[in-house]
Chains A and B, each alone.
Chain A
Amino acid sequence: MSDLKVKNKLGESTFVSIAKSLTSNRLTFSVIILLIVVIQNIITTPGFFNITIANGLISGYIPNILDEASELVIVTLGMTLVTAASGGQDISAGAIMAVAASFCGLMLNGTEYRTDVFHSPYIVAIIVGLLGGALCGAFNGFLVSKLKMPPMLTSLILFTAGRSIAKQITHGQTIYIMNPVYKWLGVQIPGVPIRTTIIVSTLTVIIITLLTRLTSVGLYIQSVGINDASSRLVGLNSSVIKLLTFVLYGVLAGLAGLVGSSSIGSVNSGELGLGIEMDAILAVALGGNNLGGGKFSIAGSIIGAYTIQAITTTLYAMNVRADQLNVFKALIIIVIIVANSDVFKAKIKRFTQTIFSKNVSVGG
């Protein structure tokens, strides 16, 4: 009798611990979704893993996804930090992309709308573009951290006005930058076989990861996001930390804007990064991050971003039209929301418990 009890106990502990670590690990969900997408692709797309070299560039299905996801990955990094620190989301990423790209375009083209001569060095233009992004981020951050406004409402200002401002910067036109050097950032640096977008997004991920790991930024952000009052009492300046995440978000969105406009060789402030903020929020949620702030996982968010891009690419490959795509995204959102709801979690818990108790009765 006592022997049996011990066995049961052992059985419970291993079973429960596996179930617990799976359900509590924030990465589980996004990894599962990514796996589903990959398996689906392996079945339907024969050449999924094929990698060829065309025009001096590594190309194929997977490099293609990595390339197309790069803007989203960069914006998602910023969204992750903003969400963690402020407990809200900034929806002005697309607009900031347009502003940053317009600043960059202005520096390169001057007043001309189509030219192949740079009016200032490319690196200077990039820096000015990023500063433009930082300025936008600082504006949002100031309103959130000092005036205590909710992030989504705050960023609605730039969401609404940003693209118009960008258009003013470029004198109301779409500008075309014909100098081939401009495409280095968004397409390829001559002689390098990997698309620059993949390099840039990977480097950004590494830099942000190092920033949160090597300095205390990550800890501070989580601390402020979990409990503002406690953080203040241990000497953290919560408003500065929040402001910092918004500035970082601005810079990252700016970078995404530069990459995006470089890849098409023009600055079209009406179209650049349209709707990217919503995908970024989705990626953050998909990565198992709490949209109410606090603990965050950069790895989760990145997996989330690539998953979204993989789904998009897959659906296009399956001849789903662009206008139908959003229905599929909505389905994913429904699944995430339901899976994260307290009611559902409680149900799952009860479900696993009943399964377990059945197992025991069978075993005994």
Chain B
Amino acid sequence: MDNVKQEQNSSDGMDKQYSDSGTTSPSLRMIGVGKSFPGVRALNNVDFNLHCGEIHALMGENGAGKSTLIKVLTGVYPMDEGKVYIDGKQTFIRSPLDAQKYGISTVYQELNLCPNLTVAENLFLGREPLKRGLIDWKCMNQEADKLLKELNISAESTAQLDSYSIAIQQMIAIARAVNTECKYLILDEPTSSLDADEVEGLFKLMRQLRKNQVGIIFITHFIEQVYEICDRITVLRNGELVEECEIENLPRFELVKKMMGKEIEVLSDLNVHIDESIYESEVPVLEARDLSSGGSKVAPFNLRIYKGEVIGFSGLLGSGRSELVRTIYGADKAIEGQQYIKGKNVIIKNTLDAMKHGMAYLPEDRKAEGILADLSVRENIIIALQAKQGLFKRLSRKEMEEYADEYIKLLNIKTASQETPIKSLSGGNQQKVILARWLLTNPEFMILDEPTRGIDVGTKTEIQKLILKLADEGKSVAFISSELDEMLRTCSRIVVMRDRQKVGELTDSDLNQDTIMRTIAGGEQ
């Protein structure tokens, strides 16, 4: 794992223009990478450079192309365009096995270790030291102990893997990756389920590896962590490279701006009228006091939501904005805190309780948690109302058809008929069906988590209008969107989340892109 040879090789045959930073030219470089999927341009002319002995943050919001880039690099997807150079030599990575051959290892969020084998067995799985055709257990355990000690991982080589915490298991996965002559290590959101101490332990290991001249790609949503440990950063947005630089040259605010898109539109059609008096006079429709669903999901928060307001929840992906609303709705179990509906203390044990208290929740992931793919549009529309009414008060066929008809017309849902399975509708129309499902239950407080993601522009505008109309009718709406201008157009108040915590509430003059992004970025202003 010494760097001398690499440095010698890296300069020949390469144009100097690509070595845009640092004194040494990068050891791994991807140039002009393009990748398309049917209907989507996932990566467009992206350059990526990784030096040995650096920790390189790869940042971007959902759909930015991070995972596609990693999958291209590790040979999971073939690339459509572009070249990969390792140590200055053009390299073709056609399969994950190829990637491993070139010293590229990945540790995914879901660990692919064997929990019921020992630590040593996991470390040496598939390349156990042999002695006369049999596994040399003694040698294997010794080697494992040596490796663990070298990397300061506090684990016994002979203990069963699942007797350790996820954090230690993750480190063992990293140790395994490093042990296979790895020069480049990709860590895909390794910290998402770790607590603060465990993250510190992981960082120690990462620093150690950096010292050993391993080039680490660190994918995370936690801004703090990026600034704590990374040397350089690459930011992607919508499949394009937007920034590659030293971390100290990119202030937090700039980073957030680059991730979220910096085109600040003129918000001429901002027609939010806020009646300030409601905040003092009225009892909130919903109030949360110190509500929390556990440290790794969302830290305790206080929140008041009033009648007829649209409240926005902003923050980067993984900031806890979805977890917060899920806790309110009872989709994630609240482990502490109180909830009040119109001033009355209520206990929401499950989603049905929330629905009975007048809540509705449109989930972020339409496919996994929203639609009932094989059921018809009609059934998808009436299911929530039917669930609320219970088993024996079945809606008659006629009622169902009338409701479905009403909402198909109201929301302008384009479907061949009520009986068409929802899965054959377009994304935008599927989303409208889910909206219809919740409108039918006549909720007082609607939670819309990314209702406009991945749907066409026309439908987007329709949904924004609908949100404002609902507020006009006296309903309260919680609105989450990755697009700031969309939120600014509709929300009268925006709650900002960062790293699983509620960090601010913005109103009035603070409701502008600049302030929101500064709050999201946190740290030095």
The residues of A with any CB-CB pair to B shorter than 8 Å are 214-217, 219-220, 222-223, 226-227, 229-237, 294-295
Contacts and interface: CB of A to CB of B under 8 A. Distances in A.
A231 B32 CA distance: 44
Interface stretch (B55-63, B247-255, B387-395): B387-395
Given A220-B391, A226-B374, 19 more contacts: A215-B392, A215-B394, A216-B386, A216-B391, A216-B394, A219-B379, A222-B374, A222-B379, A227-B368, A227-B372, A229-B368, A230-B363, A230-B368, A233-B351, A234-B384, A235-B384, A235-B388, A236-B387, A295-B374
A63 to B, nearest CB: 35
A230 B351 contact: no
Interface in B379-428: 379, 383-384, 386-392, 394
Contact of B361 (A217, A223, A226, A233): A233
5 contacts: A216-B390, A222-B372, A226-B373, A234-B351, A234-B355
B391 A234 contact: no
B350 interface: yes
B372 A230 contact: yes
Given A216-B391, A216-B394, A232 B351 contact: yes
B370 interface: yes
B352 interface: yes
Contacts of A222: 372, 374-375, 379
A227 B373 contact: yes
Contacts of B391: 215-217, 220
Contact of A237 (B352, B354, B374): B352
B28 to A, nearest CB: 39
Given A214-B394, A223-B383, A234 B373 contact: no
| Interface range on chain B (Cβ under 8 Å from partner) | 20 to 34
B334 interface: no
Contacts of B370: 230, 233
B375 A234 contact: no
Nearest to B351: A235
B369 interface: yes
Contacts of A232: 331, 350-351
Interface centre among A215, A217, A220, A230 (most CB of B within 10 A): A230
Given A214-B394, A219-B383, A233 B375 contact: no
A234 B387 contact: yes
B437 interface: yes
Q: Which 10 A-B residue pairs are closest in the complex by CB-CB distance? A: A235-B352, A235-B387, A234-B384, A229-B369, A235-B355, A226-B372, A216-B394, A236-B387, A235-B351, A234-B387
A240 to B, nearest CB: 10
Contacts of A214: 394
Given A217-B391, A222-B375, A227-B373, A233 B331 contact: yes
Interface of B: 331, 350-352, 354-355, 361, 363, 368-375, 379, 383-384, 386-392, 394, 437
Contacts of B374: 222, 226, 294-295
Contacts of A223: 372, 375, 379, 383
Interface centre among A217, A219, A231, A236 (most CB of B within 10 A): A219
Contacts of A229: 368-369
A215 to B, nearest CB: 5
A227 B350 CA distance: 17
Nearest to B384: A234
A219 B389 CA distance: 13
Contacts of B371: 227, 230
Contacts of A227: 368-369, 371-373
B386 A219 contact: yes
Interface centre among B331, B350, B386 (most CB of A within 10 A): B386
Contact of B369 (A216, A230, A236): A230
Contact of A234 (B390, B394, B437): B437
Contacts of B368: 227, 229-230
A227 B430 CA distance: 15
Interface centre among A217, A223, A295 (most CB of B within 10 A): A223
A295 to B, nearest CB: 5
Nearest to B388: A235
A342 to B, nearest CB: 16
Contacts of A219: 379, 383, 386
A89 to B, nearest CB: 19
Nearest to B373: A226
Given A233-B351, A235-B352, A235-B355, A226 B387 contact: no
A237 to B, nearest CB: 7
A87 to B, nearest CB: 12
A223 to B, nearest CB: 5
Given A215-B391, A220-B391, A236-B387, A226 B375 contact: yes
A230 B375 CA distance: 12
A340 B82 CA distance: 41
B369 to A, nearest CB: 5
A100 B437 CA distance: 43
A295 B379 CA distance: 12
Contacts of A216: 386-387, 389-392, 394
Contacts of B363: 230, 233
Contacts of B437: 234
A235 B356 CA distance: 9
Nearest to B370: A230
A292 to B, nearest CB: 11
